[in-house]
Amino acid sequence: MKIRLIKGDITELDVDAIVNAANNRLIMGGGVAGAIRRKGGREIEKEAMEKGPIEIGEAVVTGAGKLKAKYVIHGATMGMDFRTDEDKIRKATRNAMKRAVEMKMKSVAFPALGTGVGGFPYQRAAEIMYEEVSKFNDQEYPEEVIFVLYDQAAYKEFKKGLLKAGAEFEEGL
């Protein structure tokens, strides 16, 4: 599996799936979820909410509306209290990867789960997410996982976490 780190807008990527850092009710308010809803259309939120609520840490797949991606994997990193922790991020990452494997997705793009509204540190999120993603190295799918950070400061912190975790990755598109 190829792992990449890029700075950019996850909603602009032409991949099989982008991951949404969701709440367990699958209401798409702010942050990455809000950006996905604005660019992809309300039908994504409608389809997601029909599949919810889900357990915190679980992940469900919906269509991607008007986005270039084919699917959105909604990984619940928090409840409606908007609090997250290492265990919730770990489970949401693992279950998002499981959905990608089940649907034979070749490329999946992740934001830094739990770092926005959840306020979790970027470096630690990178370590946790890399640990979980790397457990799928022996799977046929996905072939590529892309970590996408929106701004330079977040990108730098996430990169430090990947390096600390011993990740091998490419930078840029």
Average pLDDT over residues 16-30: 96
86 domain residue, yes or no: yes
* pLDDT-derived band at 173, boundaries 50, 70, 90: low
Q: For position 9, which CATH number holds?
A: 3.40.220.10
Residue 134 pLDDT more than 80? Answer: yes
Residue 13 pLDDT more than 80? Answer: yes
- Per-residue pLDDT, 54: 98
Q: How far is residue 123's CA from residue 65's CA, in Å, rounded to a whole number?
A: 31
Task: Indicate the length of the chain as a whole number.
Answer: 173
- Per-residue pLDDT, 147: 98
- Per-residue pLDDT, 30: 86
81 domain residue, yes or no: yes
Instruction: Tally Cβ neighbours within 10 Å of residue 90.
Output: 19
173 domain residue, yes or no: no
85 domain residue, yes or no: yes
Average pLDDT over residues 138-165: 96
Q: Is pTM beyond 0.85 here?
A: yes
Average pLDDT over residues 96-119: 97
The 10s digit of each residue's pLDDT in 27-41 is 998 889 999 999 999
In total, how many domains does the chain have? 1
Strand 71-78 with 59-63, pairing? antiparallel
The 10s digit of each residue's pLDDT in 57-101 is 999 999 999 999 999 999 999 999 989 999 999 999 999 999 999
- Who wins on pLDDT, 31 or 165? 165
- Per-residue pLDDT, 117: 87
29 domain residue, yes or no: yes
- Per-residue pLDDT, 151: 93
- Per-residue pLDDT, 172: 86
Is there a contact between 165 and 127 (Cβ–Cβ < 8 Å)? Answer: yes
Radius of gyration of the chain (CA): 14
- Per-residue pLDDT, 40: 98
Instruction: Tally Cβ neighbours within 10 Å of residue 41.
Output: 15
**What is the residue range of 19's domain?**
2-168
10 domain residue, yes or no: yes
Residue 118 pLDDT more than 80? Answer: yes
